[in-house]
Amino acid sequence: MLSMISHPECRDHDAGAMHPETKERLDAIMNQLIMSGMDYVIRHRDAPLVTREQLERVHAAEYLDRVYAIAPGEGMQSIEVDGDTVMSPGTLRAAERAAGSGVMGVDLIMSGEANPIFCAVRPPGHHAERAEAMGFCLFNNIAVAAAHALEAHGLERVAIIDFDVHHGNGTEEIFKDEPRVLFCSSFQHPFYPFTGHEKETDNLVDIPLSAGASSTEFREAVSDHWLPHLHDFKPQMVLISAGFDAHTADDMSSVNLVDADYEWVTSALKSVADEYAEGRILSMLEGGYEPDVLARSVVKHLNVLLG
């Protein structure tokens, strides 16, 4: 049975009135699930708070000390961590829930209690590096989940697939020298965060997409580059950084994916998980900033995960 992990405190992160990363993103997803009737086949679970030990698997202790020291308390003004990343009084708890959701999801999958898992959380995480917050991201949620699978459950091969329109620079920086993790990413280039270039190594597969790229270029990137590496790697768990901002109706980017592309790529990744990982698959929300399109794309994604 599909489980969705979230928490009301994820709505308390307030990046500001003009910021695209808003609580309305989660509201739209939940409303679309209800309207589609899908809500009745999902088990909802509350995300726990991540622990310091779990965060230190992927983040430097000095960085975490700094984040906790500057976090504004109740009634205080929001602060800018960088030009894009804001901490409001509710941000730290939201980020702790977001990172904790991946840990919980991995535990549920490995115990056989639930599979697949979707983490509907915010703030997102894939830009957060080992010692730096950036791009709306404070803690690298998907990296925390992957490290938990490796260290707490002893897995030897974990794949992270990132189809957000922005390069998952933080995830790549954290795992670039970790042979137990295969990271596959597609992203508009050149584009924020202006990292990543075409590369294929044993554990990094970066496929840049030009502005204006369509379904054809995206599907070729997956079929010709991601899938061969995934079949060679034979992951024991598949984790997805599920960003939906490459959709043609999302003004965040200039890539022109459509609903059917998210169904198609989810099906391809689910087949890999079914073949090598006993179906173990966890997806975590990253980008997607046009609420209606985001919600519709998430429901398409989850329908495929449900099979």
Show which residues are catalytic. Answer: 127
Report the amino acid identity of residue 67: V
Element (H, E) at 6: strand 3-6
DSSP conformation class of 131: T
In angstroms, the CA 144 to CA 210 distance is 30
In angstroms, the CA 18 to CA 273 distance is 39
**Do you know the residue count of the chain?**
307
Question: Do residues 131 and 65 lie in contact, with contact meaning Cβ atoms separated by under 8 Å?
Answer: no
In angstroms, the CA 159 to CA 172 distance is 12
Angle, nearest 10°, between helix axes 259-276 and 291-306?
Answer: 30
